[in-house]
Amino acid sequence: MKKHNALIMTTLLASVGCGGDFEAEFNRIIGSDYDLPVTATSPAMDLDVGEQVIRMEDEINARKDDGDDERQTYEILLALCQSEPGRNCSPARFPSRIPRYMWPYGCIVEENGMPTFKEADLCVMEMSCQETPLSEVENGINPMMPPSGNGCIDVKKWIEQIPNLQEYLTVAGATKYDLSDKIDLSDSTRVKKVNVDRVVFHFSENTITYPIPDLTTYVGDVVTEAETQDAKKLIRDGAVVKFGTLPETSAMFNGAKAMQVDADGKAVLSDKLKGFSATIAEQAIFNFPGETDAARLDNCKDPAHLPSNATEYCESFPKPDGKTKFAVEMTVTFTVNAAGR
């Protein structure tokens, strides 16, 4: 018996060498189940908000002659673009800071007790926004039959009505997550159990102007590299299933952020990782626009605006822009049957 144990120990030392996992190797040799902890990081994924907004702007420009609604959408985007001094508006783009209110068709002001029409360029100084439905002003303003407001448009409300807005502000990424080169097993059927111990997101780049909303995480079977390029389709078609959510990440954040995965999510993730590799995907839906923090002067048409003259018109919010790059690191423990058992 002593010789047998000595032989096992000699084999164990030869197998593991310095710094190896003696317990796992010993259990493997004597035929017991053993645990293999593995840590691996995915290739980096990109979420590009700026690219999505450009797509939306291009669509608005391309469809400006398709009908009255499309023309109106384009004209307001053009007016927004022109609110930024020196901006080239061919094609029309959102300004870097978007004014909260605007008067694209002119305004009605009281002069000597009479409603008086003024051109749009004169509707920015010392004015408060009395919101007017677009339908009342889009064909012009008649001061003899003034609209219900003073011609002001709530830009935030207008933006929220852009067709397919949520689709444009949904960003997603996908990549292959591979543990096969980290684990010395050729037969995945020997894996009895998989436990996900830790999931960490490493943000290496982040220029997004808003906090990243809750980042929904998905996992599925391995797909082709080409298929990972359309993460939205993978999610939409159910090729990947949700396993957790990374809570909101602050704007411009770089660094590591751990995700707490609930029991149901761990079960989904563990099942997909039994074969040592899977597809992981992430998706976030941005809000456009976000609420302004305070009155800003950046986008007022009249450069004579001074801080003491700040009005509601001068409130603005940043255009959703920028991108982030991150990788997902996981520590996974495989409970393995000994060879031949």
| Residue pLDDT, tens place only, 45-62 | 999 999 999 999 999 999
| Highest mean pLDDT, choosing among 21-30, 66-75, 215-224, 329-338 | 215-224
Is 258 found in the same domain as 154?
Answer: no
Is 284 found in the same domain as 261?
Answer: yes
pLDDT exceeds cutoff 80 at 217: yes
| Highest mean pLDDT, choosing among 7-11, 90-94, 177-181 | 90-94
pLDDT exceeds cutoff 50 at 92: yes
Contact 131, 154 (CB under 8 A): yes
Can you give the pLDDT at residue 184?
A: 74
pLDDT exceeds cutoff 50 at 186: yes
Is 136 found in the same domain as 213?
Answer: no
> How far apart (Å, rounded) are the C-alpha atoms in residues 81 and 78?
5
In the predicted model, what is the mean pLDDT of the chain? 82
> How far apart (Å, rounded) are the C-alpha atoms in residues 337 and 35?
9
Can you give the pLDDT at residue 106?
A: 87
Is 136 found in the same domain as 43?
Answer: no
- Identify residue 319 by its one-letter amino acid code: K
Percent of the chain past pLDDT 90, that is, above it, reads 43
Is 176 found in the same domain as 91?
Answer: no
Is 180 found in the same domain as 129?
Answer: no
Is 158 found in the same domain as 221?
Answer: no
Residue written as token pair 């391309």: 62
Question: Model confidence at 6, in pLDDT bands (50, 70, 90)?
Answer: very low
pLDDT exceeds cutoff 90 at 173: yes
Can you give the pLDDT at residue 21?
A: 56
pLDDT in tens, 241-276: 999 999 999 888 999 999 989 889 999 999 999 888
Is 117 found in the same domain as 73?
Answer: yes
Torsion angles phi and psi, residue 312, rounded to 5: -60, -30
3-class secondary structure for the chain? CHHHHHHHHHHHHHHHCCCCCHHHHHHHHHCCCEEEEEEEECCCEEEEHHHHHHHHHHHHHHCCCCCHHHHHHHHHHHHHHHCCCCCCCCCCCCCCEEECEECECEEEEEECCEEEEECHHHCCCCCCCCECCHHHHCCCCCCCCCCCCCCEEEHHHHHHCCCCHHHHCEEEEEEEEECHHHCCCCCHHHEEEEEEEEEEEEEEEECCCCCECCEEEEEECCCCHHHHCCHHHHHHCCCEEEEEEECCECCCCCEEEEECCCHHHHHHHHHHHHHCEEEEEEEEECCCCCCCCCECCCCCCCCCCCHHHCCHHHEEEECCCCEEEEEEEEEEEEEECCCCC
Can you give the pLDDT at residue 309?
A: 41
Question: Model confidence at 2, in pLDDT bands (50, 70, 90)?
Answer: very low
Average pLDDT over residues 226-245: 95
Average pLDDT over residues 82-89: 86
Is 44 found in the same domain as 10?
Answer: no
Instruction: Using alpha carbons, select from 126, 109, 131, 129 the residue that is nearest to residue 118.
Output: 109
Segments forming the whole domain that contains residue 176 = 33-48+169-341
Q: Where is the domain boundary, 107, 136, 166? A: 166
pLDDT in tens, 20-40: 455 555 555 545 788 889 999
Can you give the pLDDT at residue 218?
A: 97
Can you give the pLDDT at residue 257?
A: 97
pLDDT exceeds cutoff 60 at 190: yes
- Total structural domains within the chain: 3
Contact 248, 213 (CB under 8 A): yes
Is 53 found in the same domain as 41?
Answer: no
Q: Where is the domain boundary, 166, 188, 220? A: 166
Is 97 found in the same domain as 245?
Answer: no
Is 314 found in the same domain as 293?
Answer: yes
pLDDT in tens, 107-152: 888 888 888 888 887 886 567 788 898 888 877 888 778 888 989 8
Can you give the pLDDT at residue 4?
A: 47
Instruction: Using alpha carbons, select from 165, 162, 170, 166 the residue that is nearest to residue 76.
Output: 162
> How far apart (Å, rounded) are the C-alpha atoms in residues 341 and 339?
6
Query: The whole model's pTM is what?
Result: 0.77
Can you give the pLDDT at residue 177?
A: 94
Q: Which residues make Cβ contacts (< 8 Å) with residue 264, sequence separation at least 6?
A: none
pLDDT exceeds cutoff 70 at 10: no
Kindly give the pairing relationship between strand 153-154 and strand 101-102. Answer: antiparallel
Contact 58, 164 (CB under 8 A): no
pLDDT in tens, 293-309: 444 444 444 444 444 44
